Amino acid sequence: MLFGALEAGGTKMVLAIGNENGEILEQKSIPTETPDSTIPIIIDYFKEKDIKALGIGSFGPIDLNRNSETYGYITSTPKLSWANYDLLGTIKRALNIPVGFNTDVNGSALGEATWGSTKGLESSIYITIGTGIGVGIYQNGGLLNGMLHPEAGHILLSKHPEDDFNGVCPYHSNCFESLASGPSIEKRWGKKANLLTENVKAWEIEAYYIAQAIVAYILTISPHRIVLGGGVMHQEQLFPIIRKKVTELLNGYVNTEQLENMDNYIVPAALQDNQGIMGCIQLAILELSNQI
Ligand code: ADP
Ligand code: ZN
């Protein structure tokens, strides 16, 4: 059986066709321009395929409340042509098939929980550290969404004693995204993040922020495993520094068998950067099964 997957990002849209095993059979990417120019391409692509359902993982914020009049809308995004846009409704009306809808990072969390490094676990979180920072929370066999959806990339952190950078988030000078996203690293050091590999201080400061955030998530959500993905986490030297710092900051307060094996607790994404699109396939599968 074939399913469609749409990873709707602020800079590009990834469109794919996959099957019930999460295998991607074809995939293409188009730039995110305006709804008027981008959405018809998406609809034409999926219309020609024999898909039974579609899953969308979208940039946001988005309205995920099925009882709301604006369910499926992109709401207050700074990308103005997409603000208050009925993404789900427009696509669903054109394709006339079940369409699952969630945040892009929840999609990645679901992809990893279904086919990747958190498969089979009761709970897990997926943190993406890229252009922005987002956290997807998987718990009790589903994705956690509250009144809106978690925006745990904006939790407030303590500044590193040697960091005098003021952050990039327009809302918070010292939130996680403000201090540790790719653009934040690049603005602090005046260099592309992928060219900073040898800069030990850059990654020590980065790991300090990631570890603080992880400690907050361990203390509040208590996930069975934590996956770190996104462009910045291609700097693999971050992993051991983060694990060490998390252990230090927890200071022995939480004692579980998972935390005794940090290498197996804080892990990279396992799906070769396909976790988002594979998660969208699972969103489609779940939406179809809800409707039968
Ligand atoms: P997005 O968040 O836009 O979906 P990515 O997860 O690829 O996309 O994140 C892009 C960000 O990650 C950029 O800000 C870039 O600086 C950073 N980045 C990409 N590749 C690397 C790398 N190899 N090392 C460090 N940072 C990287
Ligand atoms: Zn913020």
pLDDT in tens, the chain (292 residues): 999 999 999 899 999 999 999 999 999 999 999 999 999 999 999 999 999 999 999 998 999 999 999 999 999 888 889 999 999 999 999 999 999 999 999 999 999 999 999 999 999 999 999 999 999 999 998 999 988 899 999 999 999 999 999 999 999 999 999 999 999 999 999 999 999 999 999 999 999 999 999 999 999 999 999 999 999 999 999 999 999 999 999 999 999 999 999 999 999 999 999 999 999 999 999 999 986 5
Specify whether the CB–CB gap between 106 and 62 falls below 8 A.
no
Q: Phi and psi (nearest 5°) for 178?
A: -60, -35
Residue 131, ligand 1, Cβ within 6 A: yes
Task: Report domain extents, the chain.
Answer: 2-107+273-291, 119-268
Residue 231, ligand 1, Cβ within 6 A: yes
**Minimum CA distance residue for ligand 1 atom 13:** 182
- The number of beta carbons lying within 10 Å of the beta carbon of residue 163 is 17
Q: Is the pTM of this model over 0.85?
A: yes
CATH code for 119-268? 3.30.420.40
Specify whether the CB–CB gap between 91 and 41 falls below 8 A.
no
β-sheet with 226-229: strand ranges across: 142-143, 133-139, 123-129, 226-229, 266-268
- Name the residue type at position 15: L
One of 1.20.1250.20, 3.40.190.10, 3.40.50.2000, 3.30.420.40 is the CATH number of 2-107+273-291, namely: 3.30.420.40
Residue 111, ligand 1, Cβ within 6 A: no
Centroid of chain to Cα 58 = 9
Specify whether the CB–CB gap between 103 and 134 falls below 8 A.
yes
Q: Is the dihedral of CA 207, 212, 215, 221 positive or negative?
A: negative
Name the DSSP class of 236: T
